[in-house]
Amino acid sequence: MLNYCDKIVQVGIRSVSEDEHQFTNTKKVRTFLMHQNRDVQSLIPQVLAELGDTVYISIDLDGSTRRSSPASARPSRRIRLVRGARPARAVITSKKVVAVDVVELCPLDDTVHSELAAAKLVYRMMGWMNAKQREAETKVRVAKPAMHGKPNGRPIQAAAPLEGSK
């Protein structure tokens, strides 16, 4: 992955193996471990500072609780899916997001609760992205000067009155 991007920023990581540890918190990889960063709201500015302008977001459902996503492979005991989406919302509203994926959904036969939770998360992220795009388009429209009555940016020339008319 490091061959394809400038930097990887991982948020809410529960554990790191010895092999992975050599790559964490290096020039190309920044890792925010879950047990060291329980206050998600104060973590967001740090995450945003680590990111570049263009971002790819990947959300692993293993970070959610068994209650919010029972069909994740290794659910967390602490992070509810909605609370875990706060950093994603902050990234979407402040960076250029080029892609998003949601991984580690292992569907169960007797419930669609996890699929619904994942779909709601994706739907919310799409909404945040759409709202950001609409806001940007509104700013562009407001920034352009009004051209009422001015084709090609020139004032309309009044026609001279016809002879014999008053």
- What is the tens place of the pLDDT at every residue in 92-144? 999 999 999 888 877 778 888 878 888 888 999 999 999 999 998 888 776 66
Query: Domain 8-135 classified CATH 2.40.10.340?
Result: no
90: pLDDT strictly greater than 90? yes
154: pLDDT strictly greater than 70? no
Task: Report the alpha-carbon distance of residue 34 to residue 64 in Å, rounded.
Answer: 12
pLDDT of residue 66: 56
pLDDT band at 50 (very low <50, low <70, confident <90, very high): very high
Number of other residues whose CB lies within 10 A of the CB of residue 97:
18
pTM: 0.70
20: pLDDT strictly greater than 80? yes
pLDDT of residue 152: 57
pLDDT of residue 113: 80
Task: Report the alpha-carbon distance of residue 60 to residue 105 in Å, rounded.
Answer: 8
Taking Cα atoms as reference points, which of 66, 68, 129, 140 lies closest to residue 97?
129
User: Collapsing DSSP states into helix, strand and coil, what is residue 72?
Assistant: strand
pLDDT band at 5 (very low <50, low <70, confident <90, very high): confident
Residue type, 76: S
